């Protein structure tokens, strides 16, 4: 049954590569290919969910190097992240087909789009640090062509900024992973953390490595001060912004932080090392900073981007506070903010395409002209703020420990 894991990966990799070869004018073929792949993938993920709920174990190991394995597995967190990404991929593909109907280079766009989702699925399913690293870097590479898709000087320079941040983060993360592997052997994710029992390693060393890992992941999770690529990359087409912000990139960072704290270091051990408090402080600062900046943005997508900066840090904060309820809250938030934020970005894309509105100050009376879009926008925005019944009870449980969440996020 473990063949399901590679199949899930291939279900976005193969259509992605095939899309590159589809001639530009064959729009129907391309759309069928992409939607078909998204549907296949969603059904495979459903099969995986069913399998796991029946107690089936999924694991694939391939030797990558002597002593280093490429490891895929499915645990509860993988399932959460992969369900979210495959569902949102399906929706975003639908949206993007319409959004880009008259754009150029669509085969290139959808090809890299699928590679992005491939990398995200790989991140969700990776069972050790090196596998995570491989897909994490692949995600950086696959999103770059989407950020610079328009090819204008503006988007090229945004792409440069995006790469400068994410590749720098990737380097820090690589340094952390290699270092940890060199001193402690290959690190597999386990629910209790693998480093907890290792008394042979000096705490200072582990703190240093923790810093490298979190700083590396923090770039993608847009922790202040590593966040400024996110508003800059708003020049990308709306479906890309939606994907970058709601599903793939920022969530990969947040997901990685949870993996490191829980599955590598172990939650009690991280607390004992004293590394979670700085992380919580960084997350709290990011939440405040992102929300405040969002209030001052007139560009709609930029405002949403700052909102993402702040929202994603709730996940990091939930992780850092490190209680079981806070964790569930953080992870549920990952799903929740994914759904809401993607809606907001779709709406922003609609406003831009239909009415040419890109700024908040132009939005007077827009509800009358595009009632459905603005209805969706309102629902998502309320959900983002945390008004019941949008947020489920676990999430509200966390909010008791996180007083900052009352800050409005635009």
Partner 1 sequence: MSELMTGPALLAWLISLPLLGALASIALKHGGRWPALTVVIVNLGLACLLVASTQSAPLRYALGGWEAPLGIVLYADTLSAMMIGITALVGAVVSWYSLGYFAPGSSSERAFWPLWCLLLTALNTLFLSGDAFNLYVGLEILSLSAVALVTLSSGLEAIQAALRYLLVSLMGSLCYLLGVALLYQAYATLDLALLADVTGDGVLERAALALMVAGLLLKTALFPLHFWLPQAHAGAPAPVSALLSALVLKATFYLILRLWFDTLTEAATYLGALLLGLLGCAAILWGSLQALRAQRLKQLVAYSTVAQIGYLFALFPLLNDPRVADAAFDSVIYFVIAHACAKGAMFLAAGNILTAAGHGRLADLRAANLPSAITLFALAIAGVSLIGLPPTGGFIAKWLLLQSALQVGAWWLAGVVLLGGLLAAAYVFRVLAVCFDVSPPPTSMEASSQRTIVSAGRQWSALILALVALALGFLAAPVLDLFDANLVTD
Span 76-135, contacts to partner 1 by CB under 8 A: 108, 130, 133-134
Least separation in angstroms between CB 221 and partner 1 = 20
| Interface pick for partner 1 out of 94, 141, 285, 363 (rule CB under 8 A) | 141
| Interface pick for partner 1 out of 18, 47, 97, 167 (rule CB under 8 A) | 167
Least separation in angstroms between CB 99 and partner 1 = 19
| Interface pick for partner 1 out of 7, 52, 68, 360 (rule CB under 8 A) | 68
Give ∠ CA 39-43-45 in degrees, rounded to 5.
115
CB atoms within 10 A of CB 196: 16
283/311 Cα distance (integer angstroms):
10
Site string for partner 1, 143-162 (x = CB under 8 A): -xx--xxxxxx-xx--xx--
How many Cα atoms within 13 Å fall on the side-chain side of residue 356?
A: 0
How many Cα atoms within 13 Å fall on the side-chain side of residue 93?
A: 30
| Interface pick for partner 1 out of 28, 53, 55, 63 (rule CB under 8 A) | 63
Least separation in angstroms between CB 65 and partner 1 = 5
285 forms part of the interface with partner 1 (CB under 8 A): no
| Interface pick for partner 1 out of 28, 55, 65, 102 (rule CB under 8 A) | 65
Output phi, psi for 71, to 5 deg: -130, 125
Give me the numbers of helices (H) and strands (E) for the chain, helices first please: 17, 2
> Is 145 in contact with 108 (CB distance < 8 Å)?
yes
15 forms part of the interface with partner 1 (CB under 8 A): no
Q: For residue 170, what are the contacts with CB-CB under 8 A and spacing of at least 6?
A: 136, 137, 140, 216, 219
Q: For residue 76, what are the contacts with CB-CB under 8 A and spacing of at least 6?
A: 52
26/295 Cα distance (integer angstroms):
43
DSSP labels for 205-252?
HHHHHHHHHHHHHHHHTT-TTS-THHHHGGGS-HHHHHIIIIISHHHH
Nearer to partner 1, 188 or 392 (CB): 188
| Interface pick for partner 1 out of 33, 45, 84, 163 (rule CB under 8 A) | 163
Least separation in angstroms between CB 23 and partner 1 = 12
Nearer to partner 1, 37 or 139 (CB): 139
- Among 170-178, 195-203, 294-302, 303-311, which window interacts with partner 1 (CB under 8 A)? 170-178
Best CA proximity match to 257, nearest among 190, 317, 338: 317
Nearer to partner 1, 58 or 135 (CB): 135
Best CA proximity match to 264, nearest among 184, 174, 175: 184
| Interface pick for partner 1 out of 11, 71, 127, 137 (rule CB under 8 A) | 137
- Among 74-82, 171-179, 214-222, 287-295, which window interacts with partner 1 (CB under 8 A)? 171-179
| Interface pick for partner 1 out of 171, 207, 228, 362 (rule CB under 8 A) | 171
> Is 201 in contact with 195 (CB distance < 8 Å)?
yes
| Interface pick for partner 1 out of 3, 55, 182, 200 (rule CB under 8 A) | 182
179 forms part of the interface with partner 1 (CB under 8 A): yes
CA torsion through residues 280, 282, 284, 287, sign: negative
Q: Kindly report whether the peptide bond that precedes residue 112 is cis, defined as omega within 30 degrees of 0.
A: no
Q: Binding residues for partner 1, per CB under 8 A?
A: 20, 63-66, 68, 108, 130, 133-134, 137-138, 140-141, 144-145, 148-153, 155-156, 159-160, 163, 167-168, 170-171, 174-175, 178-179, 181-183
């Amino acid at each position: 049954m473990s063949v399901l894991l590679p199949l899930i990966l291939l279900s976005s990799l193969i259509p992605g590569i095939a899309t590159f070869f589809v001639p530009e004018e064959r729009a129907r073929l391309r759309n069928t290919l992409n939607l078909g792949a998204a549907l296949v993938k969603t059904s495979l993920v459903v099969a995986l969910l069913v399998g796991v709920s029946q107690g089936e174990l999924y694991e694939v190991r391939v030797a990558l190097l002597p002593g280093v394995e490429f490891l895929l597995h499915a645990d509860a967190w993988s399932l959460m992240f992969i369900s979210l990404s495959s569902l949102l991929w399906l929706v975003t593909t639908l949206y993007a087909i319409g959004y880009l109907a008259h754009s150029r280079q669509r085969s290139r766009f959808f090809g890299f789009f699928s590679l992005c989702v491939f990398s995200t699925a790989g991140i969700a399913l990776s069972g050790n640090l090196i596998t995570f690293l491989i897909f994490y870097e692949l995600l950086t590479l696959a999103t770059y062509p989407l950020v610079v898709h328009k090819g204008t000087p503006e988007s090229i320079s945004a792409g440069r900024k995006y790469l400068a941040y994410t590749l720098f983060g990737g380097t820090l993360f690589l340094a952390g992973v290699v270092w940890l592997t060199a001193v402690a052997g290959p690190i597999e994710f386990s629910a209790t953390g693998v480093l907890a029992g290792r008394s042979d390693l000096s705490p200072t060393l582990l703190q240093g490595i923790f810093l490298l890992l979190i700083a590396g992941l923090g770039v993608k999770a847009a922790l202040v001060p590593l966040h400024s690529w996110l508003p800059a990359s708003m020049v990308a087409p709306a479906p890309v912004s939606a994907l970058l912000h709601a599903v793939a990139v920022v969530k990969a960072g947040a997901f990685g932080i949870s993996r490191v704290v829980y599955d590598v270091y172990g939650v009690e051990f991280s607390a004992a090392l004293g590394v979670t408090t700085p992380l919580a402080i960084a997350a709290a600062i990011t939440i405040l900073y992102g929300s405040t900046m969002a209030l001052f943005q007139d560009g709609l997508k930029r405002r949403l981007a700052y909102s993402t900066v702040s929202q994603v840090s709730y996940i990091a904060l939930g992780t850092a506070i490190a209680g079981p309820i806070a964790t569930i809250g953080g992870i549920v938030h990952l799903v929740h903010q994914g759904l809401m934020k993607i809606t907001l970005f779709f709406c922003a894309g609609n406003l831009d395409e239909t009415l040419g509105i890109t700024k908040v100050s132009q939005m007077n009376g827009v509800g009358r002209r595009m009632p459905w879009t603005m209805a969706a926008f309102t629902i998502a925005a309320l959900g983002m703020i945390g008004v019941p019944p949008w947020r489920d009870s676990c999430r509200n449980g966390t909010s008791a420990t996180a007083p900052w969440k009352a800050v409005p996020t635009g």
